[in-house]
Amino acid sequence: MKKYIVLCAGICAAMAFTSCKSSESAYKQAYLKAKAQEEAQQQTQQPTQTETTVVTPMTERSATNTRVVDNNDNITVRQENVSVISGSGLKNFSVVVGSFSLRANAEGLQRDLRNAGYDAQIVLNQAVSPAMYRVVAATFDQKGDAAACRDALQSTYQGAWLLYAK
C-alpha cells in the first residue's frame, strides 16, 4: 500500500513540475515587447531638426608662417606660503624635488643637488602638520622654464612638482 502512495505522490510531483514550466515563447514575447518600448522611447527623444557639422577648410602655410603655441596654462602648480630657510631666495616658480619633516634630511638632499650643479634651496611650509621642509632644485620667473626643468629632473627625482610661493 505504501508503494502505491509513494508512486502516486511521485507522479503528482512530476506533473506539477512539468505543468509550471515557462515556455520559451513567453520569454520571446516579453523581449519583443521591451524592445518595441525602447525603440519608441528613442524615437521620442530624437531631435526633430537635424544638425549639420561645419568643418573649417584647411589652409596650407609654409613652415616659416607657423606659430607655435605653448601649453603652459595646463601645467599644475601648487601654491604654498613658504619661507626661505637656506638659499638665495625664490622667484615666481620653483621646482620642488623633496619634502621632509626633518631639516637634516632636507639639508642632505640640498647638498647632493648643489654637488650636481643646482642652486638648491630649502623652504619651510608651516601651514601643514607637521611642518615640511621643501627642497627646491631651481627657481624661475617663467612657468614654462620651470616645467622644462621639472621634466628633466623627473627621471632622477620622481614626483618633482612646481611651487608658486605666495
- Max mean pLDDT among 17-26, 55-64, 98-107 falls in 98-107
- Which has the closest alpha carbon to 140: 80, 72, 94, 89? 94
Q: What is the per-residue pLDDT for 61?
A: 66
Summarize the confidence of residues 91-118 as an average pLDDT: 95
CA distance 135 to 133: 7
Summarize the confidence of residues 70-75 as an average pLDDT: 74
CA distance 30 to 26: 6
**pTM for the complete prediction?**
0.57
Torsion of CA 106, 110, 111, 117, to 10 degrees: 170
Q: What is the per-residue pLDDT for 131?
A: 93
pLDDT tens string 80-101: 999 999 999 999 999 999 999 9
Q: Where are the domains of the chain?
A: 76-165
Q: Is the CB of residue 98 less than 8 Å from the CB of residue 76?
A: no
Looking at the domain that runs over 76-165, which CATH code has it been given?
A: 3.30.70.1070
Lowest-confidence pick of 2-6, 19-23, 41-45, 113-117: 19-23
